[in-house]
Structures are given as C-alpha cells and as structure tokens.
Amino acid sequence: GESVGLHLPTLSVQEGDNSIINCAYSNSASDYFIWYKQESGKGPQFIIDIRSNMDKRQGQRVTVLLNKTVKHLSLQIAATQPGDSAVYFCAEKGGSQGNLIFGKGTKLSVKP
Amino acid sequence: KAGVTQTPRYLIKTRGQQVTLSCSPISGHRSVSWYQQTPGQGLQFLFEYFSETQRNKGNFPGRFSGRQFSNSRSEMNVSTLELGDSALYLCASSLWEASTDTQYFGPGTRLTVL
C-alpha cells in the first residue's frame, strides 16, 4: 500500500496536463466511494463520489472510474491547474458501517 | 449555507491533561462523525453520532469520548492526554446517518500535546 506523511506518494504534473490519481480499496463489500481534496491547513473537501452500481461518473473537470474486479478507483483531473495542488484521498464506505475508510493519500503538485 | 465549524482551531496541552473539542454541523445535518488525522496513520475514524446517540465507534481507547446535543452540535473529549494524541481532529457532518449520506468536513482542530 501507499505510505503516508513524509513518504506520501507524489504526482507532479505540468499545468494544463491531465492528472490521474489511483487508489486501491480494501473491502470488496464497499458500495460507496468518495474522493476528497485536502489543501494545507484545511479539512478534506468533497470532490466527487460514485456508487458501486456505476463504473464511471463525471463532474466538472473530474472523472472517477471504478473497477470492482480489481478493487481500484481512479480520479482523473482534466486541464490541471495550480489550484488543484493538494493531497487527494479516496475513501470507501460499505455495509452497515457508516464510517469512511480512507486511503493513504496522494500529493498532487502542479508545475506552472 | 455555512459549513462545518470547529473550535478551537489550535490547542496546546500537556500530557495528562484533558481536552474538549467542539463541532457545529452544517445547518440541518443530524449526523456528526469525528476523525483523527496523523502523518503516520492517516485519517482514522473515531465515532459517529446521530440524533444524540453514538451509532458507530472506531478502534480508539476509552480515553476518547464524545457526545451530541439536541441541536446536533457535538463535542469530543480526550482524557489523560498522551504525546501520541497530537493530531488534527476532524469533524464531518451529513444530513442523515453517515452510512447513507455524504460527509462534509470542517477545517479541523490541531491538537499539540507537549
């Protein structure tokens, strides 16, 4: 799995390029998935979600893809901007448990 | 509509003390969940309150407790603080129970234990 804190995986992209952030989730019973963006000094901000009966969902400049076969989730950001620089977390939720189980996070760095 | 608010934003305590953190959910939201975020462990679930009842609890010692009031505001308490309790404590609210609804986070309370 991915490491955290000082060893947080980093994705560095050029402004204007597309970004793809990947996440492997743990529970095959999870039926709801969310991507959050966390900027320095702030709480996680909801970006987009997807339920397990879908394999793709699009928002404004963002697309989430879900592959249940391999328990993989990805977030695609089109035309990445400097304001997209942040740590991105995927989270899963399933069954009767309402709590979110977060992935370790990926730091996105956008070069101007 | 105002977002989730948390007070205080920053707190410094010493080992052995206790601390109370407060969370006001988005207006109309009835569920409040608490999470701890540290560089080593990432984001970990503490507990969820819905209609003043604890609905779900994470794997934390009994020193961590919480409650929810009739106006949906929530507090969490940590007793006998340890150095390892230094973290960002995040509160998230949802309109309905967290198992059925999207959670929205506040800015967090940064707790430092010396």
Compute the distance between CA of residue A22 and CA of residue A88 in angstroms, rounded to an integer. 10
CA–CA dist B92, B97 (Å, integer): 11
CA distance B93 to A100: 12
Give the chain A residue nearest B41 (alpha carbons). Answer: A4
Q: CB distance A5–B40 less than 8 Å?
A: yes
Interface of A with B in 4-63 (CB under 8 A): 4-6, 34, 36, 41-46, 49
Nearest Cβ partner for B39 among A5, A91, A97? A5
* Nearest CB to B107 within list A43, A89, A99: A43
Query: What dihedral do alpha carbons B109, A5, B32, B74 form, nearest 10°?
Result: -20
| Cβ–Cβ below 8 Å for B56 and A98 | yes
Q: What is the pLDDT along chain B (114 residues), one digit of tens a residue?
A: 689 999 999 999 999 999 999 999 999 999 999 999 998 889 999 999 999 999 989 999 999 999 999 999 999 999 999 999 999 999 999 998 776 778 999 999 999 999
Burial classification of residue A96, based on how many CB atoms lie within 10 Å of its CB (0-12 exposed, 13-18 middle, 19 or more buried):
exposed
Residue A69 in tokens: 């076969």
Distance from CA of B102 to the nearest CA of A (A): 8
Eight-class DSSP state of B26 = P
